[in-house]
Structure 1
Amino acid sequence: MTEAIRLDEKVVIVTGAGGGLGQAHALLFARHGAKVLVNDLGGS
């Protein structure tokens, strides 16, 4: 039996959230109810 993961009332900081795994993790945490703070250096 799989138990759903809920992150309500949690704050998650994701660095490198501009793309790739960082972005995927940020979206996943948000879907599970966390407040997500994201950061990315960006660049050219």
Structure 2
Amino acid sequence: MEMQGQSVVVTGGASGIGKATALLLAREGARVFVGDVDEAGGQALAAK
């Protein structure tokens, strides 16, 4: 997947499929913005 330099918004990204998607996109070089009601989960994901 060619994501280098792309900006992506992932909703529900603190857990489950959203989290897996956010991590995959970040590994592929995308700039990932995560939105979720679980603030602690979102902060933990951002720390990775």
The TM-score with structure 1 as length reference comes to 0.79
Cα RMSD, aligned residues only: 1.3
Structure 2 residues not aligned, in runs of 5+: 40-48
Q: Give % identity.
A: 44
What's the counterpart of residue 25 of structure 2?
Answer: 29
The TM-score with structure 2 as length reference comes to 0.73
Q: Paired residues, what number?
A: 39
What's the counterpart of residue 4 of structure 2?
Answer: 8
Work out the CA distance in 1 between the residues paired with 2:38 and 2:29: 26
Query: Which structure has the greater CA radius of gyration?
Result: 1
